[in-house]
């Protein structure tokens, strides 16, 4: 009998994913996915395998992913496997969503739960409405410059702020 954590028994985060849901592991993958999907709403879902609220939300995200296929891409970021990147993105609570729209960059970020599904749905409706000229072509998308517009100076190779001391001050509470 397996007495491990609930996430060890049931790989819920892998089940029933819609075709437009992409697992992201590290800053380079995140930047590439953002760059390659400039013509769509990109929703970054930060979750953890042990997070009960993340697990409850997941089936709803899969359903919404299918409903908005072609207009939205959902990037799944496992918090425990991408802690430095999540800190750089400003994630402080789970589950957490960050929305990017074409050349507008980051347009929304918020914590989400089952009780906020209606709000999430409304935001998806707003940001998946086609507005001409909002994206970059894939040829124009320079990953290093694009990364700067996503969150500032980040060392794409190492998933860390270029000025680690300065970033640490902004991530840690002041005494």
Mapping DSSP to helix (H, G, I), strand (E, B) and coil, where does residue 71 land?
A: coil
- Quick check: 116 and 73 in contact, CB under 8 A? no
Residue 131 has a CB neighbour count (10 Å cut-off) of: 10
Q: Choosing from 51, 62, 86, 141, which is the catalytic residue?
A: 51
Spatial CA neighbour of 24 closest among 87, 78, 99, 86: 78
CB atoms within 10 A of CB 113: 15
- Look up 51 and say whether it is catalytic: yes
Q: Which residues are catalytic?
A: 51, 54
């Amino acid at each position: 009998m397996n007495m491990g954590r609930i996430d060890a028994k049931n790989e819920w985060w892998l089940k029933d994913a819609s075709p437009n849901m992409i697992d992201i592991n590290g800053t380079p993958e995140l930047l590439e996915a953002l760059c390659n999907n400039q013509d769509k709403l990109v929703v970054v879902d930060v979750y953890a395998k042990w997070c009960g609220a993340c697990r409850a939300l997941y089936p709803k995200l899969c359903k919404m992913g299918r409903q908005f296929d072609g207009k939205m891409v959902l990037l799944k970021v496992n918090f425990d496997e991408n802690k430095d990147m999540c800190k750089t993105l400003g994630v402080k609570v789970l589950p957490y969503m960050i929305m990017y729209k074409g050349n507008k960059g980051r347009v929304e970020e918020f914590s989400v739960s089952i009780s906020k599904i209606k709000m999430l749905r409304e935001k998806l409706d707003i940001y998946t409405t086609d507005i001409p000229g909002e994206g970059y072509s894939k040829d124009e998308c320079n990953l290093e410059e694009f990364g700067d517009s996503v969150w500032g100076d980040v060392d794409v190779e190492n998933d860390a702020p270029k000025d680690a001391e300065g970033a640490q001050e902004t991530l840690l509470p002041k005494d």
